Structure 1
């Protein structure tokens, strides 16, 4: 595929099919776009209506063009796309750019399917359909119907975008970020983001790959590409569009409803070290910072600013992002303090501006020398035509010249930054970040990319025992009863509160004699997923009299439902569930559980299996995590036991995924004495497979 993509993106001989002499026609604009950047390769024109266009020969068809052509750009209507691509395949072309939407049918088949088959059968790389084309600054090639007259020099960053308008906006940025390759992928009929990433990693010198994605159409291929990029040290940045759209709805579980359409993407990106951003400005700031040639040697961030008020803003926003600033060494604090006015505090972030003396370079230079500092940031606004902006620029240039660590300027007001000063600083290799929020987020991404947690050894998926298959085969329906779900958990080695199925109040007394009071009574009807909402649960029954009253109430409310008795347990209520994502497979959701699960929606998702260490990091992302560590005088939970339970559940979830669509423990009770499951839902796959 790389050879075909090279023919597409780096053609030596390029054809415009549908070339036109008409001013502002699409075919004319394509030719103009090629000329704007001075493409050195050969361009041939194809259109049966013309013999010549300007001073160039125009051929009647691709078959009439002498010699080999690498790639063709098609300025033709949708109705002619399939026939034109067929002609290109017969002529031996390896690359094609389809700008049209490919709307409509070709006989009894959709035009999209026909085009996909043509490309697949010929081994052709296809950009589009419904795309804006691409830019290749390495070879000076712009191929788009809405061209730019000029573009910046290559910056080491590549762009892949599903959104055409976003592609245009990013390519036309005015921050001197020229994309080595900027690909408007469109519908990805034959060639997708995964293919482009592999090409960029294996066949180019790009240092960063930025993506704007509506979906990942080839999850397995994308994973391979991401692993290749990670092995080569090329970060992938993704802005995922459509985050709030609930594209999937799961049938039974809280965790399924909470996972939504983007939880699997979040988990996938987290697992594989893909940098996820939330806005286009954050994407550009992050790409600029990650593309710096200087490597951040340690994880510490040092920042100085000329504004006490903006320092407060920076501290506030950094706290929201959980972005730390490093603690300066005593020698650094002494060196910085020697330059500050009397009474000014030495801190990080630092407000260095006092009574007007220019101390910027000395204090920032001292911070750069700190062994715990990996990057130095000057936060200032740099408005044009102001002497102080020139002084600030001179100071940061001096700091940059005196250190081998990366250096950045962060403007707190993007529209205030002087374009000329920013361009000059970038030309020296100093990043200029275009906003407080986006800049701080970019710093966090840089820090995590360079110094994220090392990958932990993941437990192997559990091989299912004959007992698990027997439980699933013997269930009365696709939805399992709680007793059946608990038996699955026992087979998985997941601690559960003791339980028993009962048929009369006397069975409760026998259970309590073994496990003690208090106990819980609950109905065990597979058709009622959330029992407490239906008056189907009685908690804290302290003796046989209370248990008998509860039994009678349950029998009256749900006369046909079986009943189970369970030992009482205490602790923080958590939810732990597995759902099956159609693209990424099993997905684990964990978070605050019990009756407040869907109210607070404090959850996170991970791809299984996960180690106990990874489970701990996932728990730490929850707002409710302090409840597990002794907040407000609570006894701390046994986190080792809880994380072991989560890890074991995740391995079981992978093993059982071929037979179970969803399984949820809600709640898991985590207390000082350990963690136990106290309720379980499970839904069998409708087409179960015994192959494991």
Structure 2
């Protein structure tokens, strides 16, 4: 593992280039960097008022960090010279590498760097707000802090935008990866989190280069009490074999990445605003908040709005305990209905002690609390009457030790000054009710399993389809129940005398039998059946009876995350209703059961309106057997559609298996 400490926390900085270099020098001066900044230029005497050195060899010492603002071909020579002189690391700003079709140029850059860490190329660099050290050629919106979160992005523009936030989030580091020719996502993230002054990590991720290293990073961060929240872009891109099966289309793109982040215990959000608000929670409260939430407001309209907006996020508000009801009733009187969300009315408005009593009593019974409060704008109104309620939130948090979120329903109703003041008093100010609910839900992300790592990635390869009869032989050997059946090269050769009607007749050699007209169901006999065009043999099976529900179960290799498991209801139901759950292997039986419960159609498995209950345990056993089959690297994809689940047992009625070279 490379040592990035000198690059991220330099005591000396060298700068090469002219225009961009001047920006770096000016930003370091503006931020109060107390170490030397050494411009290097072959002809200029000074840049931004700082004396230039003619070459790297003329520097007083090997720099800890270097901003390289010269063209890509000159960058190769600079990196090689820095590495030879024992420099601590460099940011390579120039573009025009692999992204511009310059094949092999990045490999030459990595070779030139050797063990010296480099960020980029095509990279803005890094800002250290803790020590005032910047390898950054542009404006930014941050300021010096003593502790705070780190922001890591694969897009320079997006992270610049994040630095402009006025929401009270203390930012300790900003870092970009660029093309990540050498230092990758998990390596840079780990180096940022290794600083004790960093409390959490926010990431904008376009692609994960090493899923195993990322999973290890997430586990280490949790163990250190530091949460990670991520925006993952590119969710709509289907994976490389999207046309091969239902599973491929359902598990492509965002489904797999979201499943991977969930398995790692990394919170995922969709917007920059949610990213910032979630980071504020992690900064003050640690990497996870509990599921039991309360909400308090002085308006029934606000209480109703909270309940309505929370539902799509899956955020619940359990009712108060009997003891809470009794105490709150004593304080608030008989007119106020004690509920959660709680409308405490305005009877106690301005009464600091009673408001504190209400807030503390309510918060004490929950894992965390939302306090809806929108102070009036100070330029036209007098917000002073809101101060007792704001102080009561602080007191409730301090007394109970529970996280307290002061939520402005409109983001502009907390300005930056108020937000910073609330953060300094250990209350999370949250801007925008809907954004706050999304952030709270993200902050409830549970830790991944200890030592969980994804399966090994199997690279692209030629694939072939195993016919259904042969596929079911594999399934049966693995312990998955299949229907009794017979096969033959032609219809005339099928002998169903040992089977019980009705029969299913299938042509072999098709990935999508229904579309090819290669499946016929409910046959009393095979007499008079016509040949199926293109069939490479035939399979006749007993029809399965007593079916409670039909499931789709698909397992497939993933080029980034190793292998995925997708669960849904059978046939086209999963696609039409978008009702599937994707997990990243390996999984436990409990995780599979939980995934089935997350399906909207779960009630059909659980005895809805007096129906028979499906043997979910048998279905889970079948899934676990299929997972064990994926230990064979020759198997690329297994799809059971449907797995027919009965009141007792589960049978794989249709099977598609794609294979490749191990």
Separation (CA, whole Å) in 1 of partners of 2:621 and 2:452: 12
User: Which ranges of structure 2 fall in alignment gaps of 5 or more residues?
Assistant: 456-462
| Number of the residue aligned with 1:184 | 176
**Cα gap change, 1:104/1:211 in structure 2, threshold over 3 Å: closer, same or farther?**
closer
Separation (CA, whole Å) in 2 of partners of 1:495 and 1:203: 53
**Cα gap change, 1:575/1:324 in structure 2, threshold over 3 Å: closer, same or farther?**
same
**Cα gap change, 1:353/1:602 in structure 2, threshold over 3 Å: closer, same or farther?**
same
- Structure 2 residue 188 is matched with structure 1 residue 196: yes
Separation (CA, whole Å) in 2 of partners of 1:294 and 1:479: 48
| Number of the residue aligned with 1:617 | 594
Q: Which digits, 9 at most, give the CA deviation of each residue in 1:352-379, with x for residues without a partner?
A: 1245644532211111233xx1222201
- Structure 2 residue 84 is matched with structure 1 residue 90: yes
Mapping of residues 671-690 of structure 1, within 5 Å: 671-685=646-660, 688-689=661-662
How far is the alpha carbon of 1:33 from its aligned partner? 0.5
Separation (CA, whole Å) in 1 of partners of 2:15 and 2:343: 58
- The TM-score normalised by the length of structure 1 is 0.87
Out of 446, 460, 485, which is 2:471 matched to?
A: 485
Separation (CA, whole Å) in 2 of partners of 1:496 and 1:413: 57
Answer whether contact 1:456 1:613 (CA < 8 A) is retained.
no
| Number of the residue aligned with 1:394 | 391
How far is the alpha carbon of 1:681 from its aligned partner? 0.6
How far is the alpha carbon of 1:298 from its aligned partner? 5.6
How far is the alpha carbon of 1:2 from its aligned partner? 4.8
- Structure 2 residue 559 is matched with structure 1 residue 565: no
- Structure 2 residue 62 is matched with structure 1 residue 68: yes
- The TM-score normalised by the length of structure 2 is 0.91
Separation (CA, whole Å) in 2 of partners of 1:247 and 1:481: 23
- Structure 2 residue 238 is matched with structure 1 residue 246: yes
Separation (CA, whole Å) in 2 of partners of 1:674 and 1:458: 30
Mapping of residues 17-32 of structure 1, within 5 Å: 17-18=16-17, 20=18, 25-32=19-26
How far is the alpha carbon of 1:154 from its aligned partner? 4.3
**Cα gap change, 1:49/1:438 in structure 2, threshold over 3 Å: closer, same or farther?**
same
Separation (CA, whole Å) in 2 of partners of 1:293 and 1:182: 21
| Number of the residue aligned with 1:473 | none
Q: Which digits, 9 at most, give the CA deviation of each residue in 1:629-665, with x for residues without a partner?
A: 1224322211111111112211222x12x11211211
**Cα gap change, 1:303/1:567 in structure 2, threshold over 3 Å: closer, same or farther?**
same
Out of 357, 366, 369, which is 1:376 matched to?
A: 369
**Cα gap change, 1:412/1:626 in structure 2, threshold over 3 Å: closer, same or farther?**
same
Out of 74, 78, 90, which is 1:80 matched to?
A: 74
**Cα gap change, 1:576/1:367 in structure 2, threshold over 3 Å: closer, same or farther?**
same
| Number of the residue aligned with 1:470 | none
How far is the alpha carbon of 1:108 from its aligned partner? 8.6
- Structure 2 residue 527 is matched with structure 1 residue 548: yes
Mapping of residues 97-136 of structure 1, within 5 Å: 97-103=91-97, 110-119=104-113, 121=114, 123-136=115-128
> What secondary structure is seen at the aligned counterpart in 1 of 2:497?
helix
Separation (CA, whole Å) in 1 of partners of 2:255 and 2:449: 20
Q: Which digits, 9 at most, give the CA deviation of each residue in 1:24-72, with x for residues without a partner?
A: x322111011011111112111101123446533111111112221111
> What secondary structure is seen at the aligned counterpart in 1 of 2:367?
strand
- Structure 2 residue 516 is matched with structure 1 residue 522: no
Answer whether contact 1:304 1:351 (CA < 8 A) is retained.
yes
> What secondary structure is seen at the aligned counterpart in 2 of 1:131?
coil
Mapping of residues 417-428 of structure 1, within 5 Å: 417-428=414-425
After superposing the two structures, state which structure 1 stretch, 582-591 or 487-496, moved more. Answer: 582-591
- Structure 2 residue 501 is matched with structure 1 residue 501: no
Q: Which digits, 9 at most, give the CA deviation of each residue in 1:390-412, with x for residues without a partner?
A: 34323323323433222111121
Separation (CA, whole Å) in 1 of partners of 2:452 and 2:73: 52
How far is the alpha carbon of 1:680 from its aligned partner? 0.5
Answer whether contact 2:69 2:93 (CA < 8 A) is retained.
yes
Q: Which digits, 9 at most, give the CA deviation of each residue in 1:570-595, with x for residues without a partner?
A: 23111111211112222211112213
After superposing the two structures, state which structure 1 stretch, 394-403 or 146-155, moved more. Answer: 146-155
Separation (CA, whole Å) in 2 of partners of 1:282 and 1:297: 16
> What secondary structure is seen at the aligned counterpart in 1 of 2:336?
coil
Separation (CA, whole Å) in 2 of partners of 1:605 and 1:149: 38
**Cα gap change, 1:317/1:30 in structure 2, threshold over 3 Å: closer, same or farther?**
same
Separation (CA, whole Å) in 1 of partners of 2:363 and 2:37: 51
**Cα gap change, 1:266/1:387 in structure 2, threshold over 3 Å: closer, same or farther?**
same
**Cα gap change, 1:149/1:272 in structure 2, threshold over 3 Å: closer, same or farther?**
closer
Q: Which digits, 9 at most, give the CA deviation of each residue in 1:559-578, with x for residues without a partner?
A: 76423223324231111112
| Number of the residue aligned with 1:301 | 293
Answer whether contact 2:409 2:432 (CA < 8 A) is retained.
yes
Answer whether contact 1:185 1:193 (CA < 8 A) is retained.
yes
Answer whether contact 2:89 2:117 (CA < 8 A) is retained.
yes
Separation (CA, whole Å) in 2 of partners of 1:459 and 1:415: 42
| Number of the residue aligned with 1:467 | none
Separation (CA, whole Å) in 1 of partners of 2:107 and 2:453: 41
**Cα gap change, 1:595/1:150 in structure 2, threshold over 3 Å: closer, same or farther?**
closer
Q: Which digits, 9 at most, give the CA deviation of each residue in 1:589-636, with x for residues without a partner?
A: 111221334322322211223221111011122222222112243222
| Number of the residue aligned with 2:629 | 652
How far is the alpha carbon of 1:484 from its aligned partner? 0.4
Separation (CA, whole Å) in 2 of partners of 1:458 and 1:158: 24
Answer whether contact 1:160 1:184 (CA < 8 A) is retained.
yes
| Number of the residue aligned with 1:538 | 520
| Number of the residue aligned with 1:40 | 34
Q: Which digits, 9 at most, give the CA deviation of each residue in 1:64-96, with x for residues without a partner?
A: 112221111112233422222222223221210
Answer whether contact 1:154 1:177 (CA < 8 A) is retained.
no
How many residues in Structure 1 have an aligned counterpart in Structure 2?
646
- Structure 2 residue 434 is matched with structure 1 residue 437: yes
After superposing the two structures, state which structure 1 stretch, 592-601 or 425-434, moved more. Answer: 592-601
Q: Which digits, 9 at most, give the CA deviation of each residue in 1:386-440, with x for residues without a partner?
A: 3443343233233234332221111211122243322221121110111222211
Aligned-residue RMSD, C-alpha:
2.7
| Number of the residue aligned with 1:363 | 358
**Cα gap change, 1:235/1:375 in structure 2, threshold over 3 Å: closer, same or farther?**
same
Q: Which digits, 9 at most, give the CA deviation of each residue in 1:168-223, with x for residues without a partner?
A: 11122112222211112221121122111222333433221111100011223222
